[in-house]
Amino acid sequence: MIEIDNQGWLTKTTKCLSPNFNQRPSNTKISLLVIHNISLPAGQFGTGYISQLFTNTLDCLAHPTFSDLQGVTVSAHCLVDRQGLITQYVSFEDRAWHAGVSTYKGKENCNDFSIGIELEGTDTLQYTHLQYQSLARLSHLIMQRYSIVEENIVGHCDIAPGRKTDPGQTFDWSGYFSMLG
């Protein structure tokens, strides 16, 4: 059974440490869970490029669409791949760099108080049942550990409207929330 240890790391999951994080501001309560999507190149899965992006090892010449990623330093706390496997990049206790310019309920800089979960996917392709199962289990653990309420689980599109669209129109919010119980 997967758990979150005292340092904010998942047990029994793959870890791929990202250098793209820093400490949260002191006395910050983690209160928001943000769901994203990513695929590199767009619409291609299982390439390994996402981990390379999050660890600053991506060869930006490997694909023509990667030129915009030169010098980009981003991360998420976790990625759920198409098979439902979870990889953790940053401790939940630390601030991952996933939200960018963002606001939620009048509070700016959502990275300060949020946890970011990436789903391997796109805005227009259906996510897999295995991804929903893993996301629901992971979300439940995070909600219990950090006392995050369901209303504070949002998409990247909700905290950066007009700038971001993920997890996209194919994300089944009602099905996901029903899996949370």
Where do the domains of the chain lie? 14-180
User: Which candidate, 19, 53, 17, 22, places its Cα nearest to that of 36?
Assistant: 53
120 among known catalytic residues:
no
Distances (CA, A) of 131 to 2, 51, 72: 15, 17, 26
Asked whether the predicted pLDDT for residue 181 surpasses 90, the reply is no
Pick the CATH number of 14-180 from 1.10.3720.10, 3.20.20.220, 3.40.50.300, 3.40.80.10: 3.40.80.10
Which position among 118, 120, 150, 151 bears the catalytic label?
Answer: 118
Q: What are the residues whose beta carbons fall under 8 Å from the beta carbon of 24, sequence distance 6 or more? A: 30, 93, 94, 95, 112, 113
Per-residue model confidence as pLDDT tens digits over 41-86: 999 999 999 999 999 999 999 999 999 999 999 999 999 999 999 9
- In eight-state DSSP terms, residue 128 is P
Tokens 């006395």 belong to which residue?
27
Two structure tokens written together for 116: 């970011």
Two structure tokens written together for 108: 């700016």
Give the global pTM: 0.98
Per-residue model confidence as pLDDT tens digits over 115-144: 999 999 999 999 999 999 999 999 999 999
